[in-house]
Structure 1
């Protein structure tokens, strides 16, 4: 809350003493007390004037390292303040307002500044660390500086109105690799590198022929040619993987459709999605990210391209749930094709869902279901159909659940 009273405790005491001097000078006829009271008022007035009557121009810029803040990880905020003041100023304190999506100690000592009458702007560099708490796009600021006059009688709180938007990306968890399944799932980064050397740079996009998988469409070539084009040698050069995030709001809390960071279960799902993509891309898979209705959530990311994974994190910072429920349509996306790992991340998951997606397991070399809210024997049924399954909890260990699903096939314990 902004304080309107401009005097400090010392200044307030000086004002009370001045008034007392005036009263006593009038009662007892002591002229010296009158002069002393006037002196105190003059000093207090000069103190206020030194803070409020000086003209100053201020510019605030902020930068982040790294550029994208991630939930659960720290980033450094560098604040640069350009100040021009007519008179020297004593040191003060500063505070940078943080949104609910960030946590940190954003305050410190603001240094004293010399006179700027010659027109030179003084630059003050401040820094602090923040930790991502809530996914989304948030604003930092304004920066406030509280200063006092050299006598400590008056105070002023100056707000530098510039705000800076910061993107808080979903938590990225380091998952165990799939190296134990190189032969089964289509290859690791080493295998992919060998294949890439045999001609991945020479991939040819050819016109679409009825019967071609829609998942092999080359969208850039399609946009360039204005007709459907497919990758002719895609499966021969790069092992594929698909990560499917079911965003149907009926499987999550209603808040998941309103704003990012509101439903812990959906937040775990988004984190699991980007973490799985990062793991697969690091292991050398070309990964596509889909919704359960077939909507492309991110363009295909080639194996080893971690720069695109960073871009995916920023893109998923604002991802929310959608109204429709279409998990049963998943079987159409993989009908008639054989692919590598298929990672399905879902919220509420009941036995009928397990039966509905059963055919997909036979089109993947490593089908996996990560369910935030499994019901009944849904995971057992999915495992019977060939899926590797795990229940993941918003407060649990995603890496352990992933490792159990990959290594043993079934994980009944919510980690």
Structure 2
């Protein structure tokens, strides 16, 4: 160790002195000065002892030879808003000597609660200790956890040195997903919702649609008549089921929503989109998420996404961090839907103007079926308290226009239940009036 390293270590030790250690050091220096002024040798011995104790503690900590390793485990990594998650910490003493007093502190964002702190008295050689704490957030988002900080203290509490680990984790707080009832939606046949086992019918040789041979194809599927016709090896196409498709359109426009925090109309819309998206995936739909900004999250079987669980995780992760946009319309979403908008369309919409209603009506023609959650955002802001049987004239007109264009419209107000509204979309049920009587 060089002289510069020794000086740097001494400075580190002095910075780690606790209030008690600094008090002892100050008292020792003061006593030594007084002993020199008054010529008291006994007082000088006391002063030297008081000053030497915190310095000796700092040197002892700096020369500590034990090594520790820390780890963190989250259960679950993805938690719903308002749901608790548990963080498990493990500290291993990988040295051959026991540790002294250890203070653990994990760094967490303030929205998850206060910083957890733990005191470990002694960890034997090759031993370990496990502690855990809980975190909870009512706000969606991705929150970093860590790094873990370890404070090493001497037995007298004179000095503390902080050592930080580099590893950290991320807790994803996703919107709440509510279980929705299974309903038969209008126009569902166009998206092959309950007929996703439909296959390409092959009535005979004349109906066979061949393709060129590819390396690895089964030779038993060679179609000799087409091979002779085209002059190259052709094989029969495999029968492939037509999978149902659906798009969940989320309106993130800031001007289209009211309220703030978890009780805002935007948070209700995000939770609604999450519930509908996961429900449709579980029913066999290849469901993608689309926002008014053009952001698209692919469903299962598309874009390299494998299982339904993976696709649902991607959808929830995207909704965990989605924010209000400054857009004024759905132009970018329309461009995406023009490239592939077949199947079922479920839109979660905020406040609309007449132009947007007209464009949504034209957009309906490109889909197999369309369901709209139309939010009465004034009820979230407390601007309107409607009595049963009374409605806003403009809202009634917009609902009528969308229904005439072929949309199944579900009017949503603050406090309404997403499962109850979804039940009203059942095409086998009697058509619901504009004011949904959601009392459950």
Residue 382 of structure 2 corresponds to none
Q: C-alpha separation between the residues in 1 aligned to 2:124 and 2:133?
A: 27
* CA distance in structure 1 between the aligned counterparts of 2:365 and 2:267, rounded to whole angstroms: 29
- Conserved in 1, the CA contact under 8 Å of 2:90 and 2:131? yes
Q: How many residues are paired up?
A: 368
Q: Distance in 1 between matches of 2:95 and 2:338?
A: 67
Which of 368, 376, 389 is matched with 2:409 structurally? Answer: 389
- The structure-2 alpha-carbon separation of the partners of 1:4 and 1:178, relative to structure 1 and needing over 3 Å to count, comes to farther
1:173 is matched with 177
Name the structure 1 match of 2:120: 111
Distance 2:354 2:238 in 1: 37
Task: Please list, as runs of the form range in 1=range in 2, the aligned pairs for 1:118-267 lying within 5 A after superposition.
Answer: 120=126, 122-152=127-157, 154-166=158-170, 168-179=172-183, 181=184, 185=188, 196=197, 234=241, 238-246=243-251, 251=256, 266-267=266-267
CA distance in 1, matches of 2:24, 2:175: 54
Q: Displacement of 1:96 after TM fit?
A: 1.1
SS in 1 for 2:28: helix
Q: Which residue of 2 aligns with 1:343?
A: 346
The question of whether the paired residues in 2 share the 8 Å contact of 1:88 and 1:113 is answered with yes
After TM superposition, the score normalised by the length of structure 2 is 0.64
Kept after mapping to 2: 8 A contact 1:88/1:112: no
* RMSD (CA atoms): 4.9
Match status 1:80 vs 2:90: yes
Whole-Å separation in 2 of the counterparts to 1:7 and 1:294 = 56
1:410 has 2:434 as partner = yes
Cα distance 1:73–1:23, how it changes in 2: closer, same or farther (>3 A)? same
Q: Kindly state the Cα deviation for residue 332 of structure 1 after the two structures are TM-superposed.
A: 9.7
Instruction: Please identify which structure carries the higher strand content.
Output: 1
Instruction: Find the aligned partners of 2:160 and 2:355 in 1 and give their Cα distance.
Output: 65
1:88 CA displacement: 4.3
Query: Is the partner of 1:145 in helix, strand or coil?
Result: strand
Q: Larger Rg: 1 or 2? A: 2
**Counterparts of 2:129 and 2:58 in 1: how far apart (Å)?**
24
1:300-338 Cα offsets, whole Å, 9 max, x none, are: 469993443123323444555486843597499489998
User: How big is the shift at 1:40?
Assistant: 2.0
Tell me: CA distance 1:134–1:294, structure 2 relative to 1, closer, same or farther (3 Å): closer
> How far off its partner does 1:141 sit?
1.8
Partner of 2:316: 313
1:399 aligns with 2:403: no
Distance of 1:309 and 1:244 partners within structure 2: 15
| Gaps in structure 2 of 5+ consecutive residues | 1-12, 203-207, 212-236, 379-393, 427-431
Instruction: Show the 5 A alignment for 1:267-286.
Output: 267-286=267-286
Instruction: Report the 3-state secondary structure (helix = DSSP H, G, I; strand = E; otherwise coil) of the residue aligned with 1:357.
Output: helix
Please give the alpha-carbon distance, in whole angstroms, between the structure 2 residues aligned to 1:40 and 1:295: 66
Rounded Cα–Cα distance in structure 2 between residues aligned with 1:337 and 1:54: 66
8 Å Cα contact 1:404-1:410 kept in structure 2: no
Which of 42, 45, 48 is the aligned partner of 1:38? 48
